[in-house]
Structure 1
């Protein structure tokens, strides 16, 4: 019987995500799946991500394991995956996306609007920091790193009044009820690709690519293609406060793609927020077009200030 070696980070969330993919492969194809834990630079370091060279710190070791043949599939959180394509690899499947919104976990069940002046809100994301400051709530943004348990513990202990997290992570861990508020994308757009997973394989591994065929969700792939195309065109790295969310919706003449994006300053001002529409078949072009409009409004200046080393 075929054994598929599936590479994953060792965190509880990563293992939960990878186990979902492993279970699908077992039930769909009857193959054996071995989970192979890979330690990444992002897992080993406590430095802020922006100072470590960007999102690739969570995927480089997994990609190296793929290329060397140590594993057959790498499961990534798509928002961690660099937009620059490695020709030796291919994203064979992007499963149906989980809720991409951010959420708040606050003491005493509070929402953002109920937080007192000076409340300490933890986040390690420049994107969240910029958009939170743009709301003008008078809260103090404080840095935080670590897994979901570590972050929630900061609230439980009283060190922080609240933390901002991706709702997808709480959903996958069965802890969604711990969120005290789901953040409307009108207030805070998520990271490009947030809530989606990517199953990456070697480009020449036809057998494994075929095994993952039925796992791909076309609407999710279209949406994240638009979001990541915008991010690439902005030449924005992990330290740039860029949010984007695309959705496929039914229109009068068939399905339409809607893309919203924001580029902000960490202080909350200025902020550039624009949107674009197009055909799902033109997802990459929609992202590039919206990026061009944002660059014309001065997004390049905001990206350059926030990200001294552009690119991914």
Structure 2
């Protein structure tokens, strides 16, 4: 076989591989439209673990073909370099996605889509003006509601909506069992509290929850929540007032050994340990139990 024909066959083989990639992920579509133009997809898109395994196999096979074509000088060096760059960019993007499975900073000025947040109590809206901006909720001071348990994902009745005791909003997301969860927020009122939870179950019956309580002698709480009640895992015993007009970051984490940490603006304030909840989490829940809060960002990252 002469070199020109071998080059043509190799390019067709690469084109077929890339076309298969289009069915598994759209990375190559906009970058190499000429290859995809006349391709007829052989397979339908897969989902979940099956799609992940298929995509990984595609990348492995494609890298092997690119290496062989490079060794045999069977295709344009520029073309092969483009393919290698696409593979590297895709793998880098995949690693970032796995390391940070959830991030929302409400920069799109809404919370109804991408991702979808659902309000179950009180009123939430996105404030996009002024120094206080983000997902905002305002609730008058109430009695201590730290004992709030499950069922927070179910909408409250109209009577409660007229004079809600708390405001709750959640988003479904597949989140790892070992994580770092954080929220950046601004607080205005020195009463009530803000709670950030990672939950399990259709009604959030199991949670790990961190609470900020402005003006309280226990300013920060780390709790495990179950149907039987809330268990205190750790606390910061002292008053903290973040009502200075600035954004602050509250973070809590849990590693594979069960070690848990709570940080405020990067400083460790609570250390605890708990292995009670196993498996992945199903979403994120924000609860305002009194006060005015502007949520600028909510993020979850994976821990090994």
Q: Which TM-score tier does this pair reach, normalised by the shorter chain?
A: under 0.3
Q: Which structure has more strand as a fraction of its residues?
A: 2
TM-score (norm 1): 0.27
Q: Which structure has more helix as a fraction of its residues?
A: 1
Whichever of the two has the greater Rg, that structure is 2
